[in-house]
Homo-oligomer: A and B are copies of this chain.
């Protein structure tokens, strides 16, 4: 028994996506994105978002984020983000490498979210246009957040309006974009360009793909230089059709939505169950597929003995833990963990 709640990255690949990869292996196809599958993808994303886009496929979320930020922020710029943002704490300086040395400004904020107040305080520390200082150039939001919560369309719109009014662009790290959209019942448009997002890291890997991430550019002011940024970072895949195939399958029949709905449902169920276990406290609203709890060491150890894998999560405190569900999480696995927890001495 047992089950892994370590990460949606630890989960496997949806059968529909694996099948699409196998199907794409049909004869020769022009390399480096000139194949039909890649070429058709921009149109599909435009339909998906209801807006003209540029679309750049890459293999990792870190690449998508760092390329996006490089498009928005000059080397002497700064990016305002939450202090727990993946770009700030888990990408080993990739944004700094890709931007040519820009600064990230990590800000506190409840439930993993940036607030206008927080941004305002951060900006107040800068003397605008002063040559001695880096120049704030972008705001980056994680959707879903690193606390497992989801920005509402009006929250994004308010942040984006604030940013745009000050000449800052808006990036969204959508590593768990589908989980976020599904989590609040919002359309892809509502939580992106319609709310003011300029560029999106659109992730599929954590939601059932093998390795498929896309930079989606909504801002018409961002030019084709992303082609060069991607190539010189080593992120242009020769057999691009196999990345594109994953996204086609992801959009076909709303697989993205079904996968996310399942993972989110499992997370809710798990959170509700954990909330009833004595000594366990759920720390943030569970709006996507991540659950953050305080859980005594003894219980965590007991679960691990029974092969239920979960991460310690120091940002949530000394007894903080993180559990993540995925499209592959089964109801039996959730029930199994809850039963084990209930049995713990």
Contacts and interface: CB of A to CB of B under 8 A. Distances in A.
Copies of this chain held together in the complex:
4
A76 B228 contact: yes
A60 B211 contact: no
Contacts of A98: 234
Nearest to A28: B4
Interface of A: 3-4, 6-7, 9-13, 18, 21-22, 25-32, 58-64, 66-67, 74-76, 89-94, 96-98, 100-104, 124-125, 129, 131-135, 205-206, 210-211, 224-225, 227-239, 242, 309, 314-315, 326, 328
A232 B92 contact: yes
8 contacts: A28-B328, A74-B225, A90-B132, A91-B231, A94-B233, A97-B97, A97-B232, A134-B228
A89 B124 CA distance: 13
B93 A232 contact: yes
Complex A-B, nearest 9 residue pairs according to Cβ-Cβ distance, in ascending order? A63-B234, A96-B101, A4-B28, A9-B31, A76-B228, A9-B238, A62-B234, A131-B227, A92-B231
Given A4-B28, A28-B6, A62 B101 contact: no
Nearest to A315: B125
Contacts of A75: 93, 96-97, 100, 232
